[in-house]
Amino acid sequence: MGLLVDTTYRSDEEEIMDDLTYNGDILHDSLDKLAKINKWLGGNSVTINGLKSLLKTHSKQVPVTIVDLGCGGGDVLRDVAHFGKQNGYHFKLIGIDANTHTIRYASKLSQNYDNIEFKTINIFSEAFNHLEYDVVLTTLFLHHFKEDVLVTFLNTVLKKAKLGIVVNDLHRHKLAYYLFKLLGMTISNKTIAQDGLTSILRGFKRKELEALSEKIKVNHEIKWKWAFRYQWLLRTIK
């Protein structure tokens, strides 16, 4: 990798935090630092602004159930809860993660929010298939999966999501890799420093998101956002 990093194709390398037994103080520190980095780089606002777009014509009198996939420490949902409260929406918020330890920590951090709940669910399980929702959020989540899996999964989700999906994920770019490598020198948590680089190499280029959209045959919109993010909106056509 290093200076010879190649971003031509998506990497298949796994991240440390893909391990569902990852637990303890190192997990909590990783989730805390991820939340801070995302906030600092404006990442969560990409998700919030995408949600605003999906809700533009939705009546505020009608409750909205929002599911956040790969919710981590729940920081995105807490921001969504604040947004909903400030703008008069009635949100029911559900955080989904396959790591029980992550869900337990997210629940602890969100105990003062009466409209957020967290569930330990694998997105490929029957338990997930039984969920009902209007909007699905995925922030730095879809890059964990290969294209063929994404096509099948997103098609399934779009059949249930009444409004659509907000995707916030990484733009795979050499400059993004180098910049995060520099940032990583200031991060004491080695998991974050290493996983951040791996995440970028598992991210997407615009043409790949366009190709996925064509395969899914969905009304979509792709916008590039700082810092090296794509906001990919998949609107449900009813």
pLDDT in tens, 113-133: 999 999 999 999 999 999 999
In this structure, the strands spanning 135-139 and 116-120 are: unpaired
CB of 202 closer than 8 Å to CB of 150: no
The domains located in the chain, with CATH, are 13-235 (3.40.50.150)
* % of the chain residues with pLDDT over 90: 83
Q: What is the mean pLDDT of the chain?
A: 94
Distance CA 16, CA 53 (A): 34
Distance CA 172, CA 197 (A): 10
For 48-80, write each residue's pLDDT tens digit: 999 999 999 999 999 999 999 999 999 999 999
So what's the pLDDT on residue 3?
Answer: 56
Q: Considering the entire predicted model, what is its pTM?
A: 0.94
So what's the pLDDT on residue 10?
Answer: 97
